[in-house]
Structure 1
């Protein structure tokens, strides 16, 4: 079968590889029909992630089940499903606590399309077929009447951005929000969407990139154009600040923009081993800093419900749609978000 493979540097290739097979009676095989590009994928294919190839690409996947193991009860061949990018069993202590990003039944950080972070090649969404272990737990039914390209991103980024914002606005209803855009360019847009949908007061988006500023404005944010490198004084103080730029400058700006006893969430860690963090300032002001990977499977159902109800529109963040077979040419496009869709699939 075909598998889009990251080789190294900025090189990707379609490889012919053996198709996956059912290995356990709890497995399912899924044909990816729509895959969206995560912000991390863009860094990978530009050689900026530090992850060494070769490995399969793509981890935001929606598709069709083609086969199931004998123990699978909740799904059948032909069902349309969303495939969370993190592998989790659903029954270990961590999964039961909702920490599906750290399932103890599989190697730590097990994920599709990210072999270097876990040491296991689970395959990638930009392939003809993927194997899904623990299918009854892992898979989520596609909401009826919604295109697969709309929901594929819920496998990672669209859930990450929405859940981060929804969590804090549940604690502080109606709070003003600042989103600092940059590296995590689509995560920032999902956070803007979530802030608007969940009733934030003022939603401000700050960036030094004109296309992202325009997209954020179209999603309902007030925009602040910053100079290159985000070397700017904060545009006020905010109870909730989201740093989606993932630079030293952005985290310092985010802290300066967080009001006393406010919340700052960094949407990525860093590609460097250490990051300068002004603990004295944080202590004096009383800032709560949140940095963590999303628990996709635990948080996905709520996001699917908001999409089904028309409250959340991940498809509005997509800035380019291409044929699945052209993924090798388009995956490095610097545009905000790319959807790879098989012919005949919405």
Structure 2
């Protein structure tokens, strides 16, 4: 089989790798049919990732089950499934409380797409081995478009987690979104669907601002901190200065969610945050427990994740297209 491999700044190529095989209980082999880039992949391709090249890329996809161990009961060959970005057993102490990004049954930070916590390959590969298949794989709901949901492995579900629980606790909350990639756009769509009273989307990208406006958001290219402005602020830029703007734009006791991946250092206005009683969470997302609810929202027809997909390309175009800096490309094959 082939793995799409990051080989250096804005460089990627197919490299041959051994076909994965079932060699123990609880395993599955899947074939990605609609895969996309995570927002962080642009930083990796630009050379800002945490480890040097080469390594297999990709941690967002809908895949078709090819083969399963005899003891796997939750999925069957031929079924379309969402493959979570992080490796998790589903039963350890951390997984049992929903902290699947911190599973203790595997090396720390085990994930697809970057060989941190072991080499698990990437989801931009012809075939992928999934351990703990019953715990990890989530069947794609009937009627959902694999292209629209290619990001459910991470960015779509992360966006749901960044905003949905807050709107469930505080109906009609106001939301500030400071973003650069797909996560912020998904947040705007989800926030509107779940009844946010006001959404302000901030991005220098005019096309993204136009799309956010179709989701009902007000938009701006940039802002200074808005004193006591919002109930919730979501930062998804990877820039500490933008996280500082978000954190200083909250009502007292407001919540700031950061999508993280701050590869470069910076400073936060901790005194101002303390005086305003800011709640800040910056975390690797425990995506697996939230995928079902995120899929259910998509299936309800009140959101439009397909609108965030910038381009749809054939699987064979991956090496040349992924380095062209498309906003949210999806690479497809064997969809029927």
| TM-score exceeds 0.5 | yes
Aligned to 2:251: 259
The answer to whether the aligner puts 1:245 opposite 2:237 as a matched pair is: yes
Aligned to 2:139: 141
CA distance in 2, matches of 1:316, 1:326: 21
CA distance in 2, matches of 1:75, 1:256: 46
CA distance in 1, matches of 2:225, 2:26: 54
Aligned to 1:280: 271
State which of 308, 313, 318 in structure 2 corresponds to 1:327: 318
Distance 1:236 1:215, change over 3 A: farther
Once the two structures are TM-superposed, the CA of residue 283 in structure 1 deviates from its matched residue by 1.1
State which of 124, 127, 142 in structure 2 corresponds to 1:126: 124
RMSD: 1.6
Per-residue CA distance 1:161-210 (angstroms, 9 max, x = gap): 1111002112211011110122xx11111111111111100111112221
CA distance in 2, matches of 1:65, 1:159: 21
Aligned pairs, number = 336
SS at match of 2:292: helix
Q: Judge conservation of contact 1:192–1:203 (CA < 8 Å) in 2.
A: yes
CA distance in 1, matches of 2:240, 2:124: 32
Per-residue CA distance 1:133-179 (angstroms, 9 max, x = gap): 01111111111122211222110010001111002112211011110
SS at match of 1:113: coil
SS at match of 1:150: coil
Once the two structures are TM-superposed, the CA of residue 84 in structure 1 deviates from its matched residue by 0.7
Once the two structures are TM-superposed, the CA of residue 126 in structure 1 deviates from its matched residue by 1.2
SS at match of 2:186: helix
The answer to whether the aligner puts 1:87 opposite 2:78 as a matched pair is: no
Q: Which ranges in structure 2 are unaligned for 5 or more consecutive residues?
A: none
For residues 160-199 of structure 1, what are the structure 2 equivalents within 5 Å? 160-182=158-180, 185-199=181-195
Aligned to 1:26: 26
TM-score, with length taken from structure 2: 0.96
For residues 38-117 of structure 1, what are the structure 2 equivalents within 5 Å? 38-115=38-115, 117=116
Per-residue CA distance 1:198-256 (angstroms, 9 max, x = gap): 11001111122212211211222111122xxx6x3538711111111221321221122
Per-residue CA distance 1:77-128 (angstroms, 9 max, x = gap): 111111111110111111110111111101111111111x32x111111111
Once the two structures are TM-superposed, the CA of residue 7 in structure 1 deviates from its matched residue by 1.1
SS at match of 2:237: coil
State which of 202, 221, 224 in structure 1 corresponds to 2:220: 224
SS at match of 1:95: helix
Q: Judge conservation of contact 2:235–2:243 (CA < 8 Å) in 1.
A: yes
Q: Judge conservation of contact 2:174–2:199 (CA < 8 Å) in 1.
A: yes
CA distance in 1, matches of 2:280, 2:76: 43
Distance 1:192 1:336, change over 3 A: same
Distance 1:197 1:333, change over 3 A: farther
SS at match of 1:14: strand
CA distance in 2, matches of 1:5, 1:55: 5
For residues 143-162 of structure 1, what are the structure 2 equivalents within 5 Å? 143-162=141-160
CA distance in 1, matches of 2:66, 2:234: 40
Aligned to 1:271: 263
CA distance in 2, matches of 1:139, 1:154: 12
Q: Judge conservation of contact 1:154–1:304 (CA < 8 Å) in 2.
A: yes
CA distance in 2, matches of 1:197, 1:235: 26
